Chain A
Amino acid sequence: MPNTNAEFPERINRPTSPAPWERKETDSGGPKRPDAEAPDTKELLKKMRRVDPNQAKRYRQRTGE
């Protein structure tokens, strides 16, 4: 099956140097505080209303660890 998902990276042979996991100067350097004051909930509520009210009733699993 072709990988047509632009979001999911293809594996490529990577150079060993510079190590791509090293922090770049342009990195934001970790967590940021979002604007958490009085959020607009319109889109969120729209999405929540689309959730099937009975999906948890049908969701049955086997015990794991």
Chain B
Amino acid sequence: MQRTIGIETEYGITVDGAESVDVVSESIALVRSYTQAEPATQDMEMKWNYDLEDPHLDARGFRVDELLQDFDEPKYFVQDQNRKLSFQEIKSDLVLSNGARYYNDHAHPEYSTPECKSLRDIIAQDKAGERIIEECVRRRNLRQAAGTVKVYKNNTDFVGHSYGTHDNYLMDRSIPFEKVIRGLTPFLVTRQIVAGAGKVGIEGEENAPTGVFQITQRADFFSVLVSIDTMNRRPIVNTRDEPHADSEKYRRFHVIIGDANMSEMAGALKLGTTALMLDLLENNSCPMDLDLVDPIAALKFISRDPALKHVVLLANGRTISPIDIQREYLAAAQKKLRGRDDDTDWILSTWQQVLDDLERDPMLCRDRLDWVAKKWLLETFAAAENVAWDDPWLQSLDLEYHNVRREEGLYAELVREGTMRRFVTDDDIRHAIHHPPPDTRAYFRGRCVEKFAKQMTSVQWDELAFSDNGQEHVVRLLNVFDDADVRRYNEAVDNARDVETLLRSLDAVRR
């Protein structure tokens, strides 16, 4: 693969046995439990630089005054106002030695992977996030008697509250955003047949039928084609313009429409195929004749058709199945990108096999795709226990599929029984918990945290600040993406005896 990518995942949190749950304080406690170990870790605590973030900038060339996320939900306003914690304390940001960010985002523990350039690294890092949170659950439950915390890597509470899993791709800024929207909308609308996590129920609609199994957790929450919002009126294509890189050269394609994948194969396909689509866009090879008449309706319609029997209508009057839309993108990628590198060839062949299997019988994919595995689990249980599809037990089992505690989670049980294909090994995941990917700027960040945390004064994706001899010095990483630059920075941190040597070798700027 030839693109820098990352995933952010917000996890759901609850406490069994508690009368009421303050999810904000539980999320804070969970994140903080990671550094409350002996021996103490060197991870960076509460030094994230918020001044360098502006989620109000829109890729269409303007700045919005207000976003829903600025205020959160009104019914929690008073509760949040009365917290005797600073903004930094509520966020409880950690930067880990693997280059990841781990913090409380509103009311959810969020793990943002370090930047990766290979599928193996990004899946190992995403899974490392699950293991870190699983360990935090263990530590929190050992320490506190009040109830048992449970954490889920999913995207809904089944009654209208969704939380995100966003995949991110560095891309060429010179590609007009209108072209991104037109080229990728049909791909993103149909990507769910490969990457959906499955859900029992329909949310946000009055008089919706009960007991419906959907391909995706998130389709119910999207209502517009393009917008900067992420919490309200969510868009298929998000226009937040925060490249975390040189904004003259780069754009961060911020995809908010994905589900949280438990399956390593589904996650690898989701990220890999989307990265290839951006390659096609940048090469002027992306199919541009697949405009959907109504992308929002198609998104929901496809999600509610797990038999994959129906077609959608294109603006040119053609009707086409979601599998065939994916096939058109696949054919363009095969023609232009086959043979480029091992990751690309793996994506192309696995994608084709999955589409072929979905066409023959979706259930053939239950060893690779989350939604199919979950559907098979629920069908097996419903048949064995004579339970109807609208029985709340099935929604509880849906939730349990995503439990990060491997002793309890149903996805973990499928892995244990050998019925899910793996993409990485347990050794890869254990390694990723403490080690950054070797070939991106995340290595520099992670190694700086490991070696020089005490002298670091602030951190961001594209900037680190250090204190040395009473002065603050800044190392900017805005353009550290090509192999030679990455190698120079990463060798510098490996070779540096101390912060002074590091700063000198990189011509750091005094603030």
Contact = CB atoms under 8 A, between A and B. Distances in A.
Q: Is the interface of B mostly helix, strand, loop or mixed?
A: mixed
Given A3-B38, A48-B410, A56 B12 contact: no
B410 A47 contact: yes
Contact of B425 (A27, A56, A57): A27
Interface in A23-65: 27-28, 30-36, 39, 41, 43-45, 47-49, 51-65
A65 B69 contact: yes
A56 B131 contact: no
B163 to A, nearest CB: 3
Contacts of A31: 264-265, 421-423
Contact of B162 (A32, A41, A63): A63
Contact of A55 (B23, B97, B231, B396): B396
Contacts of A54: 392, 396
Given A1-B143, A52-B396, A56-B158, A65 B256 contact: yes
B417 A63 contact: no
Contacts of A30: 120, 346, 423
Interface of A: 1-3, 5, 8-9, 11-12, 14, 16, 19-21, 27-28, 30-36, 39, 41, 43-45, 47-49, 51-65
A65 to B, nearest CB: 4
A47 B413 contact: yes
A48 B163 contact: no
A61 B69 CA distance: 15
Nearest to B423: A31
A57 B200 CA distance: 13
A36 B373 CA distance: 11
B494 interface: yes
Given A9-B434, A48-B381, A64 B106 contact: yes
A45 B162 CA distance: 29
Contacts of A60: 14, 21, 157, 159, 161
Interface string B415-450: 001111111010010110111011000000000001
Given A11-B97, A57-B396, A61-B156, 8 more contacts: A1-B36, A1-B37, A48-B400, A55-B16, A57-B395, A59-B152, A63-B162, A64-B10
A65 B231 contact: yes
A33 B367 contact: yes
Contact of B419 (A14, A34, A55, A58): A34
B76 interface: yes
Contact of A49 (B139, B385, B392): B385
A7 to B, nearest CB: 8
A54 to B, nearest CB: 6
Interface in B1-52: 10, 12-14, 16, 21, 23-24, 36-38, 41-42
Nearest to A12: B434
Contact of B166 (A39, A43, A65): A65
B108 A16 contact: no
Nearest to B378: A48
A34 B380 contact: no
Interface centre among A11, A32, A45, A49 (most CB of B within 10 A): A11
Given A11-B97, A27-B425, A61-B163, A44 B73 contact: no
A5 B135 CA distance: 8
Contacts of A57: 392, 395-396
22 contacts: A1-B38, A2-B38, A3-B37, A5-B138, A19-B438, A21-B431, A28-B425, A39-B417, A41-B384, A43-B413, A44-B380, A47-B413, A48-B410, A56-B399, A59-B14, A61-B161, A61-B163, A62-B106, A63-B73, A63-B106, A64-B107, A64-B108
